[in-house]
Amino acid sequence: MDKIKMTTPIVEMDGDEMTRILWQMIKDNLLLPYIDLKTEYYDLGLEYRDQTDDKVTTDSALATKKYKVAVKCATITPNAARVKEYNLKEMWKSPNGTIRAILDGTVFRAPIVVKGIEPCVINWKKPITIARHAYGDVYKGSEMKIPGAGKVELVYTAADGTEVRELVHNFESAGIVQGMHNINNSIESFARSCFNYALDTKQDLWFATKDTISKKYDHTFKDIFQDIFDAEYENRFQEAGIEYFYTLIDDAVARVMKSEGGYIWACKNYDGDVMSDMVSSAFGSLAMMTSVLVSPDGDFEYEAAHGTVQRHYYQHLKGGETSTNSVATIFAWTGALRKRGELDGNQELAAFADKLEQATIDTIEAGEMTKDLALITTIENPTVLNSENFIKAIATRL
């Protein structure tokens, strides 16, 4: 059989621990036998990040700007324990944070829906994709404890020295105060990433804030989204047969619960933080969530939403058997291959991505799955497979 040819490479970002083991198994069993795989390889494993003073992370993000499509394995974000464990020169920053800052992107998280792993919200039939604005608001806030009576004001000092003041509160006793900000450029990038991704995946886009209460702060988010939509996207949405829908955050939450899914829900930073965990837990499993970083320029970096599954890795190192779920990592690869296929006009490659996803879903729906899914499935007497045999079962169907 002739292997599928590729014209442009995908940026491949290797990672750590158990997901690094799965990464190689996926390539060996599901990709290399069928595709003449062209990748530009970056080793984001912690040892090599340390050796290169984390330059490899920056290089991989710059390569993503060049080739437009990347696939990333889960990586360790070092903390004090990891600095000791790996004898690191420094507590390097989160690679995802570094890559996101360079691409100025928005993260979209979506569950992989299969029969037999049922969401606890029974009317959710299709995935709900959450887009989180990952800049500012309370995450870059400054706070004070107010010890007693006194006045708190917001003061803006313009470049020419002129001041504008706004009273926050006249305290009569002790209390608390918080100042936070956002930047129009960042909100605009967020809006464009969301509109582009809605067009890309042909799904409606919902956005919600509390603009009735926050008449300047939240209202600015609402206005920026609407202005960009009207000026740049309205016609394209009409052609694609999709909608942009704005509502209040409380109304959005109520509607989401009653909906059947199948749309993108764009959230401000805090809402996205909270709602993405609600949605992923309600859909069943962190191991079945995909994540894609989309830049306003149309660069795409695909990954699994979960981490490196450290506990399984230590088991694996001791020679023990593992049953680690590789589905989200497989879907990271299929997302990248399909996007590469679309951008290069390589239909064979895009079709292969569809087939690999279908083979993965069929395997689970036939009752063959890893232990994490066997514990929550509605399928009776599932067959629990180890990490490698699950991937081989998919290869057999493929």
| Residue numbering of the annotated binding site | 75-77, 82, 94-100, 109, 132, 250, 258, 273, 307-312, 325
Number of residues in contact with ligand NAD under rule CB under 6 A: 17
Name the one range near ligand NAD by CB under 6 A: 70-78, 149-157, 174-182, 209-217.
70-78
Identify whether the C-beta of residue 168 lies closer than 8 Å to the C-beta of residue 153: yes
- Mark residues 209-228: x for contact with ligand NAD by CB under 6 A, - for none: --------------------
Task: Please count the other Cβ atoms lying within 10 Å of the Cβ belonging to residue 331.
Answer: 25
Query: Sign of torsion, CA 131 98 12 370?
Result: negative
Instruction: State the number of CA atoms in the 13 A half-sphere of 293 facing the CB.
Output: 24
- Which residue's CB is nearer to ligand NAD, number 64 or number 75? 75
Residue 286 as a binder of ligand NAD (CB under 6 A): the answer is: yes
Report whether 129 contacts 110 (CB < 8 A): yes
Based on the shown chain and the rule CB under 6 A, indicate whether residue 77 belongs to the binding site for ligand NAD. Answer: yes
Give residue 345's region: left, alpha or beta (phi > 0; psi -120 to 50). Answer: left
Please give the angle made by the CA atoms of 158, 162 and 164, to the nearest 5 degrees.
80
Asked if 328 and 304 touch (Cβ cutoff 8 Å), the reply is yes
- Site for ligand NAD contains 71 (CB under 6 A): no
Among residues 238, 185, 184, the alpha carbon closest in space to that of 216 is found at 184
> Please, what is the minimum distance in Å from the beta carbon of residue 76 to ligand NAD?
4
Residues 31-60 that bind ligand NAD (CB under 6 A): none
Extract the annotated binding site for NADP(+): 75-77, 82, 258, 307-312, 325
Q: Which residues are annotated as a binding site for D-threo-isocitrate?
A: 77, 94-100, 109, 132
Task: Out of 11, 74, 117, 294, name the contact with ligand NAD by CB under 6 A.
Answer: 74
Q: Considering the complex, what minimum distance in angstroms separates the CB of residue 31 from ligand NAD?
A: 18
* 289-294 vs 106-111, strand pairing mode: antiparallel
Q: Residues 306-345: x/- map of binding to ligand NAD (CB under 6 A)?
A: xxxxxx------------xx--------------------
In whole angstroms, how close is the CB of 242 to ligand NAD at the nearest point? 29
Which C-beta is closer to ligand NAD: that of 203 or that of 363? Answer: 363
Question: Where does this chain touch ligand NAD (CB under 6 A) — which range of 32-40, 73-81, 149-157, 263-271?
Answer: 73-81
- Is 6 one of the binding residues for ligand NAD (CB under 6 A)? no
Segment interacting with ligand NAD, rule: CB under 6 A, options 71-79, 139-147, 161-169, 347-355 = 71-79
Q: How far is the CB of 4 from ligand NAD (least distance, A)?
A: 27
Residues flagged as binding site for Mn(2+): 250, 273
211-231 per-residue burial string, b: 16 or more CB within 10 A, e: under 16: beeeeebbebbbebbeebbee
CB of 26 to ligand NAD, least distance (A): 12
Residue type present at position 94: S
Q: Are 177 and 144 in contact (CB under 8 A)?
A: yes
| DSSP state letters, 35-99 | B---EEEEE-SHHHHHHTTTHHHHHHHHHHHHHSEEEE-------HHHHHHTT-SS-PPPHHHHH
3-state SS assignment for residue 305: coil
Binding region for ligand NAD (CB under 6 A): 74-77, 96, 286-287, 303, 306-311, 324-325, 372
